[in-house]
Structure formats: C-alpha cells, structure tokens
A and B are shown apart, each in its own frame.
Chain A
Amino acid sequence: MSACLVFLLSSFFSSPVWAGELIDKVKETTDKIIAIVSNPEMKKAEKAAERKRLIREAIDERFDWDEMAKRTLARHWAGRSDAEKKEFVALFGKLLERTYLDKVEGYSGEKVNYEDETIDGQYGTVKVGIITTQDKSISVFYRLKKIGSDWFVYDISIEGVSLINNYRNQFNSIITKSSFQNLMERLKSNVEEGK
C-alpha cells in the first residue's frame, strides 16, 4: 500500500518544474557550459584552447573566487598581509577553476534537474539533481551570495560534501602543522603540475 503510494507520488513529482531568480542564474551558466562542451565543432583538437577559454569565461561570470578564498582561509585570513592575500586568491582561484574545468570537460550527457531554491537575506541556495549516464542520481547544492544586484556562487556541495569546507580543513591542517608559506608552496606545485 505504502509502496504504491510512494510509487504514485514519485512518478507524479519526478520532474518538477521549478523556476526562480537563483535557479535562473545557475541554469544560465550551466546551460552555457553544456552548450560549449557538447558542441561537436568545439571538440576538435585545434579548438581545445578556445573551448577552455570559453568555459573559463562562463565560470568566471558566476563564481566569486575572492569569497571562496576568504572562506577557505577562514580564521587564517585576517593575519595575512595584502600581498599574501592577493597571491593566495589568485592561486586558489586557478586551482578551483582547473578542478571545475576538469569536471565539466568530462560531460557526457548527464541530465540536470533544478529542484529547489531558497533565499535568506543576501544568501541563497539552489538544489540540483544530476542523473549520470549510469543512472545514478547525485545531489548538488550551489550556495550563492548577493553582491550588488547580482548573485554569485561561493560554494558547491556534492552529496553533502562542501568544496569550501573540504579545502578549509586541508588548509587549516597544513597551516597549523607547518606554515602559511608551506601551504603556498604546495598550492603552487599543484597548480603547476595540473596544467
């Protein structure tokens, strides 16, 4: 009986059509990126650099690298000099960009469902369900912050694992065990190697 109910409900709600300000923002960027990575013209070897550049532009529009960098350093942020802050933001931005680029370049027709959005003051969340080609469903949360009149992504959670929390704990562990300088060296070598 219950199973029947679950079945009925789930088929009824299987593809909800949600729309809202934040979903529109995230969807716009995601659609742009999907259009680039699934364009057969762009898959040619000679277009690789252009493809990368276009994706990077689309991500940069919506992602707030500064905010992400501050949040990952957390309590270690305030003690840094301006030069250190600047260098860190640039390096960490590169690392995130590359990580995200690696993820979207592997796109192979996954379905993206926009499930919900919530706004609380200048903070907001968009809930997305991704159905992989192996028919596995992955839940993703985008966290956005309002700056001026526009919204920018400052964190992504995949299956409950927040990217920013994860880096924050790595960085905190490195800084408390050795030093900020050591963290910068390791960041640099990771960005270099990953090119």
Chain B
Amino acid sequence: MLKRVNKSPFTAVAGSEKPSVIACMNRNPALAWMFLWCLSAALMLGFLPRMAMAGSLSSYDLALADAQSKQEPEEDYYEDEMIEDVSDPLEPFNRAMFVFNDKLYFWVLKPVARVYNEILPEPLRLSFKNFFLNLLTPVRAVNCLLQGKPDAFATELGRFVINTTMGVYGFGDAASVCFDIRRKDEDLGQTLGVYGAGPGVYICWPVFGPSNIRDTIGMVGDGFLNPLYFWPQESAYRIGISGFKVVNGTSLELGEYESIKKAAIDPYVAVRDGYQQYRKNKIKE
C-alpha cells in the first residue's frame, strides 16, 4: 500500500491542472531542467552544513544506543523505547483526508480495479506496470547521481537498456528476471533526506495519500523528469494514462491496504507511522 501511495505522486503531477509557471516549463522542457538543476544545487549547498550535523548526530545516537543495550536496567528498559517524533499539527485535516482516501479506495478505486482484474490476466497487468516503471528511469537515475551513487546510476542505465531492448519497450523486466539486476528506488524526497533535510510536517494529501513537506517537494521536482509530463501534449490523454496506471497498480495490490487496516487499532496513526518509518529506511539505504 505504501508503495502504491509512493508511486502515485508522479501521476499526480502529470495529470493535474498546473499553475502557470509550471505550464510555461511544460512548453519548454529545457526550462524545467534548468529549474531542477538550480533547485538541486541550491539544496545541496543549503543542506551540506546540516548533513554534517546529521552525521555527527547519528554517531552520537549510535553511541547512546550502544550504551543503553549494555546497561539495560530491568523494567524501565521499556521506558526508553522510542516514541515517534512525527510532527503532525495538521492532524484534524489529515484525518479528514485519510477518511476521504479510504472512501475513495473502497467506493471507486477498488471496484474499478476488481473489474479490471477480471478482464486482464496478471502477467499482462505486471507488464504494464513494468512499462510505467521503465519510463520513470530518469527520475531514479538522476536521483542516484544526486545522491552520489554512481554504481546505482549505472545499474539504472543498464536496466533501462536491457529492459527497453530485451524487455521489449520495458514491458518485461528482463534485467531482474534474467540477470537479477534490481531496481534502485531513488527519488528526490530521499535525495533531500540524504542531504540532511528532515521530513517536516506530515501531510495526508487527498488522492495521493501520506507524505510530508520534504517528500511533497520531492514529488513535484521528480514530476519534471516524468516523461508523461511532457508527452502526450493533450492533457486529456495524460489524465487517461495516469488513471490507467493507478488502476493497473491498484489491481496488483488489492488486499494490501485492507490487511494493514485490519491489523491496526488506529489505522490513521498506523499509516502515518508506517510511512515515516518506510521513508526513513529508504533514505538510509
């Protein structure tokens, strides 16, 4: 479920109505590229000092954790267990949006995805998913570079070549199946995190689901690298393609959200915490 929510932001940018500045960039891809590079350069410069701070902080945390595991007093050991440090001043709004998304899933998305499920066999649906993932190679590759991971960048490039040729336009994930070369899931939100940006205020967006300030900025930035953002020109087609992508993705993950919800005592907090933990881990990787 988290994965789904994570990916859908790309479609969001592609599908939604854009403010005029962005529309202008849409007409001129070079502008968008320049904007992205300026943004990333500014962020790198701005976050370098913080990165140094984060580095020293984490080693301090490690030392602390180490000391704790060695002392370990009997009962009050459990008092030291970490309670999430998520900032959620928008909770009333977020909870309302959570309910909205919940209804959207059960009343619209799920019924549509189930019918779709009946019509198309799983291998075909998987190959559509592969195709869309292959299209997003620029997003992953650029973020590998921005994070200073040349090997991961090479992997993404290699995967793109293999999957576009052997995998026939990306419909097959030949790189994974034949060579066990796995996708490197990097995005701008993670890149910002690597450079020391904290998550900021938690936001549950209508339609797009759980996010935070950092990942929302990342999602918008990554949108400029999504080929669906430049092509096709007609926004009706783009919305259609994005909708298809969401339904296809959902059809492969039916039941995942349900099981998270069933296991939770407070589903809103469960998803909020799950999202934060998941992203934290992604950044660490």
Taking Cβ atoms with an 8 Å cutoff, the residues of A that contact B are 1-3, 5-7, 10-11, 14, 70-71, 73-75, 77-78, 95, 99, 102-103, 120-121, 123, 134-135, 137, 159-162, 165-174, 183, 186-187, 190, 194
Contact = CB atoms under 8 A, between A and B. Distances in A.
Contact of B83 (A78, A95, A103, A168): A168
A11 B155 CA distance: 13
Contacts of B179: 7, 10-11
Interface stretch (B56-64, B99-107, B163-171, B264-272): B264-272
Interface of B: 2, 69-70, 75-76, 78-79, 81-84, 86, 122, 126, 150-151, 154-155, 157-158, 173, 176-177, 179-182, 252, 259, 262-266, 269-270, 272-274, 277-278, 280-282, 284
A113 B150 CA distance: 27
B262 A166 contact: no
A74 B154 contact: no
Given A11-B179, A160-B280, A103 B269 contact: no
A120 B274 CA distance: 26
Given A6-B154, A10-B181, A77 B78 contact: yes
Contacts of A95: 263, 265
B269 to A, nearest CB: 5
Contacts of A186: 265-266
A169 B155 contact: no
Contacts of B280: 160
Contacts of A161: 2, 273-274, 277-278, 281
Nearest to A15: B180
Contact of B84 (A1, A99, A165, A190): A165
B252 A74 contact: no
A159 B181 contact: no
18 contacts: A2-B150, A5-B151, A6-B154, A6-B155, A11-B179, A71-B78, A74-B83, A78-B76, A99-B262, A134-B122, A159-B2, A159-B278, A159-B281, A161-B2, A161-B281, A166-B273, A170-B265, A170-B269
Contact of A160 (B86, B157, B158, B282): B282
A162 B273 CA distance: 10
B265 A3 contact: no
Contacts of B181: 6-7, 10
Contacts of B180: 10-11, 14
Given A3-B154, A10-B181, A11-B179, A71 B81 contact: yes
A173 B154 contact: no
Contacts of B264: 170
A52 to B, nearest CB: 16
A173 B264 CA distance: 13
